[in-house]
């Protein structure tokens, strides 16, 4: 498996754990607010092969708790399960970030207990999903399948939404709440602009709006909160 980036240590990407983050290439979506668009559109070059990752991890035994796989969309990689399997055998916990477009792969990974924690992005309410994801059409049933799989089979998990002022409103979060009703936890994080973001001029909602949105979700998901928000 080609690896497009490696963050050697993070305290943020895997909740409660010291981890490294592995970035894969390719994505089903073209979100206008994406921070890793060069990975999504294929313009980035790989930085290492999986053998180099294993060599790195061998030296980090006892220092790192886990490995977080992100992207892009890791489930596009046909070698993903095999890499996860070897990482688990080395004694590391595994976290998977996913966009939910590949419930079959997700089911295989969860059935084999290869992922200890799954984080799935919920881009928007079903009615606005395609526009927010930067695609012309999307099969919402596929996203729903992934939500259900995670809620039923993942040992631990979260759902999360990056909130963009021009793309989200309160009604969307009521719809999302209904969609993921009973989920273990859900986070909102305000959009942060960067040079790598493909659409210029986007901005986060106000802090007051973010609080309003998370309150709209709480009747459906008790552990719903804001992440990375400075009051």
CA distances from 29 to 99, 101, 137 (A): 8, 9, 10
Contacts of 76 (CB under 8 A, 6+ apart): 24, 26, 27, 28, 102
The token pair that represents 100 in the structure block: 């939910």
The answer to whether residues 158 and 172 touch, using CB atoms and an 8 Å cutoff, is no
Q: Match 């035994």 to its residue by tokens.
A: 61
Q: What is the pTM of this model?
A: 0.96
The answer to whether residues 218 and 224 touch, using CB atoms and an 8 Å cutoff, is yes
pLDDT for 222 equals 85
Give the span between the Cα atoms of 209 and 217, in whole angstroms: 13
The token pair that represents 185 in the structure block: 């936890």
Give the span between the Cα atoms of 218 and 103, in whole angstroms: 26
Give the span between the Cα atoms of 33 and 195, in whole angstroms: 11
Alpha-carbon Rg for the chain, nearest whole angstrom, is 17
Instruction: Count CB atoms within 10 A of the CB of residue 143.
Output: 22
pLDDT for 231 equals 55
Give the span between the Cα atoms of 155 and 177, in whole angstroms: 21
* 11 alpha-carbon distance from chain centroid: 16
Contacts of 213 (CB under 8 A, 6+ apart): 163, 168, 170, 173, 188, 205
> Domain spans of the chain?
2-226
Give the span between the Cα atoms of 156 and 41, in whole angstroms: 30
Q: 2-226 adopts what CATH topology?
A: TIM Barrel (3.20.20)
The answer to whether residues 58 and 90 touch, using CB atoms and an 8 Å cutoff, is yes
Q: For each of the chain's 231 residues, which pLDDT tens digit applies?
A: 999 999 999 999 999 999 999 999 999 999 999 999 999 888 899 999 999 999 999 999 999 999 999 999 999 999 999 999 999 999 999 999 999 999 999 999 999 999 999 999 999 999 999 999 999 999 999 999 999 999 999 999 999 999 999 999 999 999 999 999 999 999 999 999 998 899 999 999 999 999 999 999 999 998 999 998 765
Give the span between the Cα atoms of 49 and 229, in whole angstroms: 36
């Amino acid at each position: 498996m080609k690896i497009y980036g490696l963050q050697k240590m993070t305290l943020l990407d895997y909740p409660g754990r010291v981890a490294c983050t592995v970035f894969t290439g390719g994505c089903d979506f073209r979100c206008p607010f994406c921070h890793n668009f060069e990975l999504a559109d294929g313009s980035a070059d790989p930085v290492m092969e999986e053998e180099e990752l294993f060599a790195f991890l061998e030296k980090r035994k006892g220092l790192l708790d886990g490995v977080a796989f992100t992207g892009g969309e890791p489930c596009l990689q046909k070698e993903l399960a095999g890499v996860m399997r070897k990482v688990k055998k080395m004694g590391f916990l595994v976290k998977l970030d996913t966009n939910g477009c590949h419930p079959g792969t997700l089911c295989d990974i969860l059935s084999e207990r290869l992922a200890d924690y799954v984080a799935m992005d919920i881009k928007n309410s079903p009615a606005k999903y395609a526009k927010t994801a930067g695609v012309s059409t999307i099969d919402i049933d596929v996203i729903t399948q992934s939500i259900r799989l995670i809620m039923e089979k993942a040992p631990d998990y979260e759902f999360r939404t990056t909130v963009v002022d021009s793309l989200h409103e309160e009604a969307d979060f009521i719809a999302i709440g209904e969609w993921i009703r009973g989920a273990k936890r859900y986070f909102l994080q305000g959009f942060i602009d960067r040079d790598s973001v493909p659409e210029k001029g986007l901005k986060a909602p106000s802090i007051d709006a973010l609080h309003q949105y998370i309150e709209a979700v709480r009747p459906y998901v008790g552990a719903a909160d804001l992440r990375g928000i400075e009051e």
